[in-house]
A and B are shown apart, each in its own frame.
Chain A
Amino acid sequence: MSAIIDTSSGLSIAARRRRKMLRNAGLPIASALVGLILWELLVRTLEVPTYLLPAPTAIVEALIARWSFLMTNLGYTALSAVSGFTMALVLGVVLGIAIAASPLVDRIVYPWLVISHAVPKVVVAPLLLVWIGFGIKSGIIFVVFFTFFTIVVNTVMGLKSADPDLLHLVRSMGAGPMKVMWKIKLPNALPNIFTGIKLGATLAPVGAVIGEFVASNRGLGYVLIQAVGSMSIDLAFAAVFLVSAFGIAAWYTAELIEKKCIPWHASQRGQH
């Protein structure tokens, strides 16, 4: 691809893409930096006490001072987020296929999906302790619960959006329901499935932390509760920062995989 030259500018496509990425990334980074500097200035000039709102530099200090402790707990949270999300992904896509393939399954499962989505999960979280007990299993199951819906819904939407004429065409070529699903509907649904993956991947660490609030003595959720309890707000913010960073990393990882998997989709070809 890099050999293709746009004669109008003389730049290779690869070079233009790099330049565009810089331009695209530059503004958000600058905006975030300005926000952080304002925050720091505000805390310093108004002399806000650390136990109310620590300055970004204080958070960085806490991050450095407790680095290995925080990393261990991040690892624990990441483990339940990643395993829970992986399960939700597999279950969600499989159920999505079942729903799209069978109107019967659709009608039976649909109300349960809506109910499970409408139930305020945070309120139900303490029940995890009762039902599943203390430990990582609770966290993982909560993550599944938390991310499942968005994956199912997006998968179903993608599977059902295949062009009816295209379906007629491949059926006239002799394709049965399995072939139609595998060769047409599923690849056609990939852009939607990736939307579900990206949304789910950012929800997963949040779900893991909520699970740890109620049923764990490890992980960033537990650290957060403990830190707030002992008024170590800088440590709490450091934990929040790590959870957010993990969510952002998950989003961009998913986006990277998406770029590799569906370069043919309009969303991946710039010029929005």
Chain B
Amino acid sequence: MNSLSIGDTRPVVELFGVQKTYVTDTGNVRALDPVSFGFEKGAILSVVGPSGCGKSTLLRILAGIDPASGGRVVIDGRAITGPVPDMGIVFQRDLLLDWRNVIDNVMLPAELARRNDGEMRARAIGLLTELGVGDFLNRFPYELSGGMRQRVAIARALLLKPSLLLLDEPFSALDAMTRDQMNVILQRLQQHEQVSTLLITHSIAEAVYLSDRVVVMSARPGRVLDVIDIEMPKPRPLSIREEPEFTAIARRIRVLFEKEGVLAA
């Protein structure tokens, strides 16, 4: 396993043999075989893998939503057991509150943390502006496009300066063009905010473009096929996707999936 360090060398997230078996009425579902990896403060780590391989399960364990069936998750040196408030989460569905306008949606975490003050509001507006939706503060979610809604969800997740940002296929429901746009925006914002980010995706290109490290997972039950560090300097232009270094890494991941029979022709 490659263990080159990125940014701050202090590991922010470490997984040790994390596994999950869902117990259901119709039997046990082995979703995740023991998985171990870690990443450093301020880095973006992507998990790529075929649908149903346990990526969301992994994220739910990290978020403290679901308990792991075995193994240990250590965040900032502490083993987690329940929901950690110091975390921003974005799901594939934006999960905005239909009855709140954009700014009030973004302010929700501040309200819940009793930090609903002018300073927070200014930060919310700053984030929305940086995400390109600063002109829509008083609009309601139903008045926005899917891409804009997802930007609002990202602003909400970042409001309280979380130590960890968890993204579960945040752009999967968007069209290809919007998705490229969101990749560029996310990269810029993540660098600016210096937030450690775990991105779950099933797009190889997205993973390679955005990440400092890519964890490649097998089909269900998911296990780690490879961990690849990506050294290309950031910020990266979209055109980097045509560079030989980029395509070589993308090919390496694709070959792994092909060997697994996931992408067999």
Contacts and interface: CB of A to CB of B under 8 A. Distances in A.
7 contacts: A166-B95, A168-B60, A172-B84, A173-B112, A187-B99, A264-B99, A266-B142
Nearest to B168: A165
A264 B89 CA distance: 24
B141 interface: yes
Contacts of A263: 140
Interface majority SS (helix, strand, loop, mixed), chain A: helix
A264 B98 contact: yes
Interface of B: 60, 63-65, 83-85, 87, 89, 91, 93, 95, 97-99, 108-109, 111-113, 140-142
Contact of B99 (A179, A262, A266): A262
B73 to A, nearest CB: 14
B84 A169 contact: no
Contacts of A172: 63-65, 83-85, 87, 89
B97 A184 contact: yes
B112 A179 contact: yes
Contacts of B83: 171-172, 174
B142 A173 contact: no
Interface majority SS (helix, strand, loop, mixed), chain B: loop
A175 interface: yes
A173 B141 contact: no
A66 to B, nearest CB: 47
B263 to A, nearest CB: 29
Contacts of A169: 89, 91, 95
A119 to B, nearest CB: 35
A258 to B, nearest CB: 13
B47 to A, nearest CB: 18
Given A163-B95, A187-B99, A264-B98, A173 B65 contact: no
A183 B110 CA distance: 13
Nearest to A263: B140
